[in-house]
Structure 1
Amino acid sequence: MELEYSSVLTGASFMLYEFKQVVMLKEQGYSDQEIRKKIITENLFQYEKISSLKRGLPSILRRVNVLDETFRKLVIKESFEVGKIINLYAIMKTDRLFFEFMDEVIKEKLQTSDYIFEKKDLNTYFTVKAEQNENIASWTESTVQKLKQVYLKILFNTGILKDKRSGELNRLMIDNRISDHLTHIGDANFVSAMGE
C-alpha cells in the first residue's frame, strides 16, 4: 500500500528523545492506547504544553510501529548514533514526501559528490511535487514553509547537514547491523536514500 502525501511532519520533526521513550514502552508490552495515556498523564516528554505533546505523539507512535523487534532493541541498547539512524528510517518509512526528498535530492547529491545543499534544492523539490500532486498543491504557503524547516532540522539532527549556514552535507556512517537488517527485510532502498 502506497502512503498518501501528508504534512504531519510539521507537528513532529525529529524527536529522538520522545521516539526512544516510546520504543521502551513498546518493548515493555504497552499498547498504543496505554502509551498515549501514560505519556500524557505522566508528562513523560516533559512538555510545557499538552497540545504540543498531542500533536507529535501520533507520528511517533506510527514510527515506532513500523519497527520490528530487532530495531526496537537496537534503539534501546545501542548508542545515540544508532538511534538517530533508525529514527531517520522510521520517518522515511512513515512519510512518503520525506522519503522521496531523501531519495531524489539527498541521495542524488551524495552520489554525485555534490556536498552543498542550497535553499533552491528544497524549493525546487516542493515546487515539482506540487505540480505533480493536487494534494500538495493545495497546502498553504505556511504549511510548506514549516515542512521545509522540519526537513532542514531532520537533516541537521541526523548529521547529514553538517552546517546550516554553508549547507555542507555529510555522509552518514550507517552501522552495518542497520544496513544489513534493512537489506534483510527488503528495505535496502532506504539505505541508499540515506546516501550509503
Structure 2
Amino acid sequence: MSISTPYSGGLTGEQFFFYEMRIVSKLYLKCTSVEEIIEIVRRDNLFQYPTERKISKFVRACHRRILALSNEKLIYELANAPVEVAKQINLYAMMRYNRLVREFMEGLIGEKYRQQDFFYTKKDINIFFSRLQEQNDDVAAWSEQTIKKLKQVLNKCLIETEMLDSANDTSLNPIFISAELESGIRDNNDLTALAAFNCFR
C-alpha cells in the first residue's frame, strides 16, 4: 500500500465483516463478476439481513478487500480455512485495503508485539489518532463521532482475532500467526505486515 493512499473513514460502516467475507470469498472463487455475486447474495438472502438496502454496498466492500489480498491461496483459505485462521486473513485483507487499519496494526499493535509490551489501553489508541490528526488534514477533519466509531471498529478487529479478550481488557494476547497467513504474506513480499501478527522470524 502506497504512503500516498488517502485515509478512509469508511470503516465506520463496513466493520470486520467476517461472516460476509466468508460468503463473498466463496462466491468469488466460483463467479465471474461482483455483479453476479451481488445477485446471488440478494437472491438467496445469504447475508440474512432484514432488508436488501445495503447488500450491494457491503458485497462491493468485501470484494475490494478480497482483491486487495492479491493472493489466490489466501482467498481460498479465507473461504475455507478454520475460523481462527480465516479471521487473521480477513484482518490482513483489511490492512491491505485500508491505510488506517494498516498503520494501526503495524505502527501500534506490531510495535507493542516487537517490544513485548502487552499493556494496551484507551490511551494508546487515543495517542495513535492524535498523532494522525496532527499529521494529516483529512484525518483532522473527521468528527469526534467518526473517530469514536473507528476506535470501536479497530478494537473489534483485535477482539475478533483474539489479540484482545474484550473491549475493556488492557492486555494484548501474544498470538501465533497461522501458517497459511504467514506463507501468504511472504508470497506477497509484504514482510512489514508480519509484525501485526506477532511474527518476527
So what's the TM-score if we normalise by structure 1?
A: 0.92
For residue 76 of structure 2, the aligned residue among 51, 73, 77 is 73
1:19–1:60 contact (8 Å) kept in structure 2: yes
CA shift digits 1:65-107 (9 cap, x unpaired): 1232111222233211110111010000001011101111101
Give the counterpart letter for 1:162 in structure 2: D
Q: Distance in 2 between matches of 1:171 and 1:53?
A: 36
Indicate the SS of the match to 1:108.
Answer: helix
Q: Distance in 2 between matches of 1:166 and 1:77?
A: 30
Give the counterpart letter for 1:73 in structure 2: Y
Residue 50 of structure 1 deviates from its aligned partner by: 3.0
Residue in structure 1 matched with residue 18 of structure 2 by the alignment? 16
Q: How does 1:34-183 map to 2 (within 5 A)?
A: 34-67=36-69, 68-183=71-186
Q: Distance in 1 between matches of 2:171 and 2:185?
A: 27
The sequence identity of aligned pairs, in percent, is: 34
1:107–1:193 contact (8 Å) kept in structure 2: yes
Give the counterpart letter for 2:100 in structure 1: L
Q: Distance in 2 between matches of 1:92 and 1:76?
A: 18
Q: Distance in 1 between matches of 2:67 and 2:183?
A: 20
| More off after superposition, 24-33 vs 125-134 | 24-33
Indicate the SS of the match to 1:159.
Answer: coil
1:107–1:192 contact (8 Å) kept in structure 2: yes
1:11–1:55 contact (8 Å) kept in structure 2: no
Give the gaps of 5 or more residues in structure 1: none
So what's the TM-score if we normalise by structure 2?
A: 0.90
Q: Distance in 2 between matches of 1:195 and 1:52?
A: 35
Indicate the SS of the match to 1:66.
Answer: helix
Give the counterpart letter for 1:65 in structure 2: L
Cα RMSD over matched residues?
1.6
Residue 55 of structure 1 deviates from its aligned partner by: 4.5
1:71–1:86 contact (8 Å) kept in structure 2: yes
Indicate the SS of the match to 2:53.
Answer: helix
2:176–2:198 contact (8 Å) kept in structure 1: no
Residue 131 of structure 1 deviates from its aligned partner by: 0.8
Give the counterpart letter for 2:98 in structure 1: D
1:25–1:35 contact (8 Å) kept in structure 2: yes
Residue 140 of structure 1 deviates from its aligned partner by: 1.0
Residue 15 of structure 1 deviates from its aligned partner by: 1.3
Indicate the SS of the match to 2:48.
Answer: coil
Q: Distance in 1 between matches of 2:159 and 2:105?
A: 13
Give the gaps of 5 or more residues in structure 2: none
Residue 45 of structure 1 deviates from its aligned partner by: 0.4
Q: Distance in 2 between matches of 1:49 and 1:151?
A: 26
Residue 54 of structure 1 deviates from its aligned partner by: 4.3
How many correspondences in the alignment?
196
